[in-house]
Structure 1
């Protein structure tokens, strides 16, 4: 027997993670390239210092103030139905939010369903919670055929359906009717999770699934402060759902899972929401310019409502990725074979990316 005595299905598996390399232009993990202002930094530092004075005590287990602030933010989102604090849950990044959902609603004898290509962590959440993983297929343009998806839901009868919108790694948003159709197909035997980690970057006229919360008690909408909020280092993800769903998650969470410092920093960041979200329009415009430029260069480009663009197709995508890296530009080798993904950075960073790509593909 090999040692250490790890679970057999985990033996030899490499841990998840994108390359973390020290290069001039880092466009591989969909970060917001614009950091907080000096005023925001000062308020965050003050909040952290105030929390530090209480570190001899456990934090608020129910993170009451943070739930209220997140509910207020979600309620302000364009077209969103009112969200109350008892409809909100938060954890250390949307990754832990997803794991909580699978711990509460997945498990042995249950199934989680998504549609490939999709976020590569989803099957790992399933694996880690002993939930069966089933992946349907997206269309050639990475959209979701609602009729086919509904038929697969009715066949598989999953406990959890995971629907990223915009989809990672393709950037594709769900069609408006998809949420309602799949919630109806799932009925009361499961939940439908719409992962809106990049939701703030969606184009004008693309609705948020938050608008459908009041209509479907099986619907869960997840968000994060890592992307549009420029808080990747904060590690704060959250969701909105029926209060019965958030109450069920409390059963599986670890005690005091959100530290006093995390809660304080997140609250301070939410106070600066207009500023932190102030670059979203610029990033969307830059994304659209990159899409147009890539197409003029003859590349296939997936429609994107996120802060990244999937493009291809390359006979040897790794050679293109390496060529960019050799020129100081790091993007992501992810998604279907032949495709690459680039995060949207500052105009100077995108110029460096374009120049490098022209050289590599010459």
Structure 2
């Protein structure tokens, strides 16, 4: 018989839609190869650390005052970085927050909320749905292709059909997608924009710097599309996950509307100082991207040779299938000192492309596992 009694204690005070939910998080364990959260395995270069310390030395005595609420210098630096790709971005088009998750939160606070609908295409970045829920925005799990050869991809016509049926207020498209690593064609984004005429279309490009040559980015579509938003981060390619600095580019009027929901002085003076220093050394901070991409491609090749099914990736990680029991393989790898990510897709795990030594540790640990870890051989073994 079902227990219809109301929850007791503090849980009785919790919002109904949050009861029974689990907080977002990934294990933070001391292992020889931590390859579960898509961090950049390379530390911040000493020269950049020295510049950060110098910048902080000038900033810290002034902590008795609030930081620049408009983070003016940082916005200029971010705009200059984005403009390196050929599409001019003005500082008034840029917004930033404490990690891209806060930027996503601002978007949902401003354009979502009770009575409004958002959609993302599963599997994708789980925080899109979580942040939507916390803002009272109804979330719809859109579908991706399940066809062989097109697995986890999005087609423009299919996206347009789904959006036309839902009429959402926000659309989230992750490119390259997390956890699959698959990039999205510009035709998909254009189709989404046209099919959802009252929606803010958010293209999450957290891993854009790792894309293979020729992969398009949505910055090229911003001009003339006032409802289009492109989010980025310094956490991945810039190796600043601990710095918590995410940002977006959009129409200046949309950026201005985000001021209605941000907390006062939401970006601390030290956060702004560290990010400014990192951006002064853009080439040095991005110098490891090529090495990471090489390890990603190595993972795809060697996982294939081991009999698994990696998904071609434009990010700094690889999703691979062909596992009899993903949870069991995850534990076996952890027992060998290698931490990867179980993303909840049956028969799949995700591994970050780390240093060559970390990649070798993962591949050796996986190769040492018995045939019972391979899908289709577990019963025979």
**TM-score with structure 2 setting the length:** 0.92
Per the alignment, residue 121 of structure 1 pairs with 127
Q: Deviations along 1:132-189, whole A, 9 cap, x unmatched?
A: 10111101211002101101111111110000000010001002211111111122x1
Q: Rg bigger for which structure?
A: 2
State the distance in 2 between where 1:2 and 1:89 align.
42
Q: Deviations along 1:205-229, whole A, 9 cap, x unmatched?
A: 0011001111422110000000000
SS, match of residue 63 in structure 2: coil
Q: Deviations along 1:250-301, whole A, 9 cap, x unmatched?
A: 1000000000110011100101110010111111121111101111111111
Q: Deviations along 1:235-257, whole A, 9 cap, x unmatched?
A: 00000000111011110000000
Q: Deviations along 1:31-60, whole A, 9 cap, x unmatched?
A: 011112111111111112211111000001
Distance 1:361 1:310, change over 3 A: farther
Per the alignment, residue 98 of structure 1 pairs with 104
Per the alignment, residue 90 of structure 2 pairs with 84
State the distance in 2 between where 1:361 and 1:193 align.
43
Per the alignment, residue 313 of structure 1 pairs with 322
State the distance in 2 between where 1:48 and 1:2 align.
48
Identify the match of residue 178 of structure 1 among 158, 183, 188: 188
Point out 4+ residue stretches in structure 1 off by more than 3 angstroms: none
Q: Does 2:246 align with 1:237?
A: yes
SS, match of residue 206 in structure 1: coil
State the distance in 2 between where 1:109 and 1:15 align.
24
Per the alignment, residue 37 of structure 2 pairs with 29
Per the alignment, residue 4 of structure 2 pairs with none
Unaligned runs of 5+ in 2: 1-6, 372-381
State the distance in 1 between where 2:169 and 2:304 align.
40
Identify the match of residue 225 of structure 2 among 216, 219, 222: 216
SS, match of residue 295 in structure 1: helix
Are the equivalent residues in 1 in contact too, given 2:159–2:191 (CA < 8 A)?
no
Identify the match of residue 348 of structure 2 among 317, 330, 339: 339
Per the alignment, residue 109 of structure 1 pairs with 115
**TM-score with structure 1 setting the length:** 0.97
State the distance in 1 between where 2:344 and 2:327 align.
12
State the distance in 1 between where 2:235 and 2:370 align.
32
Q: Does 2:271 align with 1:265?
A: no
